[in-house]
Amino acid sequence: MDAKLSPNEGLNFSGIGLASCLATGLGVAALIFDWMGNRLPLQGMSLTLPLLLGAVSSAVIGYVVIPLLQALKTGQIIREDGPQAHLKKAGTPTMGGIFFIPVAVIIACVCSDFTKEVLAVSALTLSYGFIGWIDDWQILRRKSNKGISPRMKLALQVGFAVVFCLWLMFNQPANITNIALPGVGWVLPLGFLFWPLAGFVLVAESNATNLTDGIDGLAAGTVAIALLALGALVAPTSLGLMVFCAALSGSCLGFLAHNRNPARVFMGDTGSLALGGALAAVALLTNSLVALFILSGIFFVETLSVMAQVSYYKATKGPDGKGKRLFKMAPLHHHLELTGWSELQVVAVFYIIAAILAAICWAIAPF
């Protein structure tokens, strides 16, 4: 990793250095978790092999797909009111989720021998990716940073969430409506209230990861950490979903080969909505909502920063129709940029926080 100390900026990292450190760290973590679970690292039902296959396949396929995206003129439209440093990114191909999401799904299905849980989670993931693709396509077609209407996007998210919850209702694992509270040994019996909560989690998680996707390598790296940690947590009860999490985590790492700073491609809503849906679907199937909440700490704070910004602006709106801003810009990562942090510094700190949250989840796990 390239690093140097500057009196004005502190530690500066190279994009490839950060991505390499993350890939190495997750690879070692996968090996350790497999060793602890008495699994052979290079067998299909492990964390290590799906992670490796996802990373290599996604990285290699990216070298084929990205030139095609460039040829199709899928250049990103940058917000004019965003950080001025981002304007130079205009024209970078977007919609990168069309290659690294399907790669992970295929690897997960094959390695897990097409178990019904993996097929269901894969279907939800691809469905949310499809919503993102429609939004990305509309942005490109209109040459504006506004895709489909928020109401239409929400309706599609809710619709697919309802379909998934209906499947889950008729194929539910035992005690799925009882939410386990790790660390204290309590169980919260929700009964029918679990189902509206499940729908909310699917929609909220996908939108939260979408909001986090605003800096090169940020969403891909933090989600890769969360997915591997979630895979390790669910391994004792669902090897198939463990494989799914590992494959998608690895695919995120492969995508980082092209998305790390300076990015050659962005994942777009095609990737970010799919990733959030995948995290939520796995957590719902494995009764891991508390773990998901902890692992999604960064996504949660990013979402809160947007909600707080909008609420504060409306609450302080004067006669001229203008309000005050709580942050220089929302989500939080843009605020940090505008206070003097470099993109790489933001990404590095968020990676560290994501790793700490993963460690906390593992520490309080009930096994």
State the DSSP code for 78: P
CA–chain centroid gap for 306, Å, is 17
* Spatial separation of the C-alpha atoms in residues 135 and 146, rounded to whole Å: 8
In DSSP notation, 301-338 reads: HHHHHHHHHHHHHHHT--TTS----SSSSSSHHHHHHH
What are φ and ψ of residue 179, in 5° steps? -85, 115
State the DSSP code for 87: G
* Spatial separation of the C-alpha atoms in residues 270 and 148, rounded to whole Å: 13
- Please tell me whether 210 is known to bind a ligand: yes
Residue 143 φ/ψ region, left for φ over 0, alpha for ψ in the -120 to 50 degree band, beta for the rest:
left
Beta bridge partners of 178: 189
- Please tell me whether 135 is known to bind a ligand: no
Host H or E run for residue 234: helix 218-234
CB-neighbour burial class of residue 263 (10 A; exposed 0-12, middle 13-18, buried 19+): buried
What are φ and ψ of residue 37, in 5° steps? -95, 10
CA-wise closest residue to 92 among 263, 272, 221, 210: 263
Q: List binding-site positions.
A: 210, 269
Q: List binding-site positions for Mg(2+).
A: 210, 269
